Amino acid sequence: MTLKYTTPEAVKAFTQRMEEFSTQEMLEDPNVGAFISGKATIGKNQLGIAEAFLHLFEQREDYEICSKLIRTFPELQVSP
């Protein structure tokens, strides 16, 4: 796992906490939906949180959401 804005430990803890929520439940949360679309902020480390969400949705194979996160936070794009 290549990370620029957070740590592997933080991503692991985040994904474990989010296991109890379905993707649909997360997207229906107004704060999460607004964050993914770039209309709201969550916490101080925006890119770290976005990177954790990116890895979570990548693990869940929700690639449309990954794409949206990368469009919202282009810093997360991995160079080939």
State the total domains in the chain: 1
Query: Which has more confidence, 47 or 79?
Result: 47
Specify if 26 maps to a domain.
Answer: yes
pLDDT at 21: 96
Whether the pTM exceeds 0.95: the reply is no
Residue 69, pLDDT > 70, answer yes
Specify if 3 maps to a domain.
Answer: no
Specify if 1 maps to a domain.
Answer: no
Specify if 2 maps to a domain.
Answer: no
Residue 20 lies in domain: 8-75
Specify if 49 maps to a domain.
Answer: yes
Specify if 39 maps to a domain.
Answer: yes
User: How far is the first Cα of the chain from the last one, in angstroms, to the nearest whole number?
Assistant: 15
pLDDT tens profile 23-68? 999 999 999 999 999 998 887 889 999 999 999 999 999 999 999 9
Cα–Cα separations (whole angstroms), residue 35 to 18, 47, 59: 16, 11, 19
Instruction: Give 53's contacts (C-beta < 8 A, 6+ positions apart).
Output: 35, 36, 65, 69
